[in-house]
Each structure stands twice: as structure tokens, then as C-alpha cells.
Amino acid sequence: MKAEQIVLLDPSAVSNPSFGINPSNRSLEDLIRCGFIVINKPSGPSSHQLAAWVRSMLGIKRIGHGGTLDPFATGLLTLLCGRSTKITSELLKKPKRYIAVLRFKESMPEDYFSEIIGNLTGDIFNVPPKESAVKIQVRSRNISESTLIQSGEKGRIHLISISCEAGTYIRTLVKDIGLISGNPCELLELHRIGSGSLEDTMACTMHQLSDAIFLWREHDDDKGLIRLISPVERILDDLPRLIIKDGAVGAISHGAPLARPGIVSMTPGVKSGSRVLLSSMKEEAVAIAELSVDSDEIPNMKSGQVATPSNVIMEPGIYPQTWSRE
């Protein structure tokens, strides 16, 4: 997990080594039950088709993806395995980063084009294109950065990078660029390079995944597949955290709220109502929860409810339920 400021509330708390395990030491079976795979999606198949293929290849019941890519698009596609599908809504909220190739009907000077895309930042109106499966309605999305990388074919083709809010339709943005410039343009290629803290450099191809699964099933060699499946905690490392005691882990995995005595340490400066990650002392993701109080109030509390789980990630029974509500 990334380094962050943490306030220690109970320096005497220890975790029983008999229960749970640090995510970096999980077995392949545990990773398949609650992990994710980053695929470098090829052009052609839909995101749903890729998820179905990997589900069949791994022989598991549940797998989902964290953000649809159109069939023609390529790049980072996150596949969530087993219980990690419980964080799909969290992953869908992550900002996205793309590389796009645009072609104009007529030559477009670099300076003028750079000025246009530079002005297309901040909140913009974004309507799903006809090709999208989403209901067509006007909505606002934030573009944090649009940058020209390279131009070619005498100014008709341009390569740009775009950083944007989740749910932004790049095809619609490209059409808007054509309308603003008075020079119609089309989207030739679209490649997703990032989603939240995930980068396409982490991604494997479907061939690499298939080879790793073959070695696991036919030769009992799981080393390659372990390298391709990441623990679910990797996706959640940008959330503020409450680190909790073993007994609280057991109770919360059964859906109980978190009370003040169950906290070991916490991220300061988090407001009531914010989403936080409830994490074990072994850095395991237990649940995503909503804070009931400002985190800065917690050190002064002796008892009372602190957070309510909204998405329980950890499977019940990994830790004993010894903690009572106080």
C-alpha cells in the first residue's frame, strides 16, 4: 500500500498469526477467490466477451470488469474475480487516462488544435454516442487534461492524451472537437492507459494469461498465474483507512458496524460520510465503509459507532468473531 499519514490509537494491539495473511503472501486459490487481473484488451471483442472467456478459462462462477471499453478500443481492462466484484462500483469511479488518434477531414494546424483541446478541460457536457449501450442523456464530466502528443499526414492526424472523469465518452469528445473547429474529425484509435492507480504497463495479453493457466492446470506450475493476479487491496490503496483489531475484523466480515474500541490506527482529516477502507493489521481489505463521525473526533471517543460497512470484501470465518459492539 502507498505511504500515508496514520494516527496510532492503540500501540499495544497485536494480530494473531493464526488468522488471515498479508495480501502479498496469498496462495493462487486465495487470489482467484478475491483478486483482479489487468488485461491489455485487443480490438474486436467486447469487455463482456473477455470477462466470459476468462471466467471459463479459470473455471470460476463470478468475474466482472471495472469499466467498459468499446469493442474497437484497446488497453487496460480490469477483471475482478470472486469476492472482488463487490468493489466494482468503487473501481468504476476511478479517473481514466487515454491515448487517442484523431483524423480530420482537412489539415488542422498544430497550434490551433492545441488551443482547442487545451480549452476542453474542466466540466463539459458529454452525451453517450449512438454506439453506446448506455441510455442517451446529457451529463457533465470533468476533463482534467487534454494534450497534443504528435501530428502527422500534413496536420490531418493527431495523437492526443486525455485524463478524465470516469464515464467520459471520448468518441463524443472527438465529435465536439470537430464541431468547435469547423473541421469534421473521427476517432481512429482509442487506448486506455490508466484507471486510478492502475497502469497499462501492469497488463497482460490474453495469450499470456492463457499460457499461465495452461501451466497451472497441466503442469502444476502456478508461478506465472500468481504474477498475473493481484490482490484486491491494490485497487483500494487510494482510500483513507481505519486499521482494525482481529476481533473487529471477524464481526465486520459478518456485516456488523465498527465501534471505537475496535480501531488500532486511522487516517486523519477524513470527514463524516466519506468512504474509507477497513483494513486488518495484516493489511487485508475487510470492507469499504462510510464514516459516521469525522476521523479527527475518533481519538477522543471511548465508545460508540464509528463506521458502517457498505461493501464487505472479506469472506466470513477467516477471523473469529470475538469483538462485541461497544
Any idea which residues carry the catalytic annotation?
A: 70
Residue 104 contacts residue 183 (beta carbons within 8 Å) = yes
Contacts of 308 (CB under 8 A, 6+ apart): 257, 258, 289, 290, 292
b/e per residue, 56-66, with b = 16+ CB within 10 A?
A: ebbeeeebbbb
End-to-end distance of the chain based on CA atoms, in angstroms? 30
CA distance 127 to 144: 18
∠205-208-212 over CA atoms, to 5°?
A: 140
| b/e map 160-183, b = 16+ CB within 10 Å | bbbbbbbbbbbbbbbbbbbeebeb
- The span from the CA of 120 to the CA of 87, in Å, is 31
Pair 164, 144: CB distance under 8 Å: yes
Best CA proximity match to 177, nearest among 146, 213, 216: 146
What string of H, E and C letters represents the secondary structure of 210-223?
A: HHHHHHHHHHCCCH
Nine-digit cell string for 4: 500515508
CA 173/CA 23 separation, integer angstroms: 39
